[in-house]
A and B are shown apart, each in its own frame.
Chain A
Amino acid sequence: MRVLGIQRAQWRDLWAGTVAVSPLMPGAVVFGLAFGALIQVVGLPWWMAPYASSTVTAGASQIAIVEALRQNAPMAIAVITALVINARLALYSAAMAPIFAAFPRRWRFALAYLMTDQSAAVTSMEVDKWPDPVRRRWFVLGVSGPFVGIWILGTTAGVILGPVIPESWQIGFIVPLMFIAVLVPGLRTWPGVAAAGISIATVLLLKDLPYGLNVLTGALLGIALGSFVPDRSHPVDEEAVPPGAAPEAHDP
């Protein structure tokens, strides 16, 4: 029995993946709405929101880019800021390497494209239940694909709803709120706390730097100085995906 050329059993595995990631979907929708509304507020055309969300596919960096452009930053600074923020994805990619190793090449490259903080966290936690590589790749596709789809739809809805949402609602508050929700629950190691603290202090002390350079400098300094803080509570190799990736999923 096939639907759209795909075996029914594989649809089931894909659906299991989507169910596993579903608790994280409402947050992605609200965050997407905020990004779309931001695109609309700064006067970019509506298609820029789905374009950015389907190509960059990493919300924090997309917001950083819009903020940099808003301050007339040179293109290089906007791009570098985004790539520094997204450097964390290299860690998830390393964590996915052994999980994806048995997949065909085109699957590995496609699933890498769909990889987000949330899908990497859910995949690495659930993977032990999927020893068969064929079933596992459909499960991972179910975790990653629909989540990205929801993100793209949410940002598009944000541009459309942007003009309807009253200014007085101050929907921009979702930006710090979303990042507090992602960052704080999983912040458990001393180097992580130090990196966050140094970063905040730097951003505020350098607030008069142009082009959003305070954000870039804060992130880099937090990473650099945080690296020197000894990690007492965690042995280095304990976890491939950091606890900050998706704290919700760590909850019972």
Chain B
Amino acid sequence: MTLTAFIVFTLAAIGTYLIRVSGIVLLGGDRELPPRVRKALSLVAPAAMAAIIANSLFLEQSDWRAFGPWHIAAIVAVGVALWKRSMGWTLALGAAAFAALLLAGF
């Protein structure tokens, strides 16, 4: 697995660097991204992050995670995020809620 991981990280690193320089190289002058492309790219972050949230929060490998502190603390975090609109507050209060639930023995 070590060699596989090394190769995968290396290929992903090369591909990711090409993505990182793409706009800087291709759009050096006055050229702009077509609006459709821009819109699709702007949806990558919400779609990819939501996918990772769903996979890590609700599933354990391929099974449903039993309802508990993970779900409750996540609800707290989403609530704080919508209320404060701040990454720092969401992280802090989400982590605090999770720690409190674990300490309370859930």
Residues of A within 8 A of B (CB): 23-24, 26-27, 30, 42-45, 48, 51-52, 55-58, 60-67, 69, 71, 75, 78-79, 82-98, 100-101, 108-109, 112-113, 115, 117, 168-170, 172-187, 191-193, 195-200, 202-204, 207-208, 212, 214-216, 218-224, 226-227, 231, 236-237, 242, 244-248, 250-251
Contacts and interface: CB of A to CB of B under 8 A. Distances in A.
Q: Which 7 A-B pairs have the closest CB atoms?
A: A222-B47, A93-B23, A94-B23, A55-B13, A184-B81, A196-B50, A88-B44
A21 B2 CA distance: 34
Interface in B7-66: 7-13, 15-17, 19-24, 26-29, 32-33, 35-36, 38-59, 61-62, 64
A12 B14 CA distance: 33
Most B C-beta atoms less than 10 A away, residue of A86, A224, A231, A246: A86
Contact of A56 (B16, B26, B40, B59): B16
Interface residues of B, number: 73
Contacts of B50: 179, 183, 195-197, 199-200, 203, 218, 222
Interface in B69-99: 69-70, 73-74, 77-78, 81-82, 84-88, 90-91, 94-95, 98
Contacts, number: 305
A86 B19 contact: yes
Contacts of B28: 97, 101
B46 A192 contact: yes
Nearest to A82: B12
A105 to B, nearest CB: 10
Given A27-B88, A48-B9, A177 B48 contact: no
Contact of A58 (B8, B16, B36): B16
A181 B54 contact: no
A161 to B, nearest CB: 16
B104 interface: no
Given A82-B15, A207-B62, A223-B40, A48 B77 contact: no
Contacts of B77: 177, 180-181, 184
A13 B68 CA distance: 48
Given A96-B23, A169-B102, 13 more contacts: A48-B5, A52-B13, A57-B13, A75-B11, A88-B41, A113-B20, A173-B70, A176-B74, A179-B53, A181-B90, A223-B43, A226-B46, A236-B35
Nearest to B58: A204
A88 B43 CA distance: 8
Contacts of A186: 85
A236 B38 contact: yes
B87 A182 contact: yes
A218 B54 contact: yes
Given A247-B86, A248-B87, A180 B81 contact: yes
Nearest to A120: B20
A44 B35 contact: no
Contacts of B10: 55
A56 B9 contact: yes
Contact of A179 (B16, B26, B49, B58): B49
Given A44-B1, A169-B102, A181-B90, A251 B85 contact: yes
A59 to B, nearest CB: 10
Contact of B94 (A62, A115, A181, A195): A181
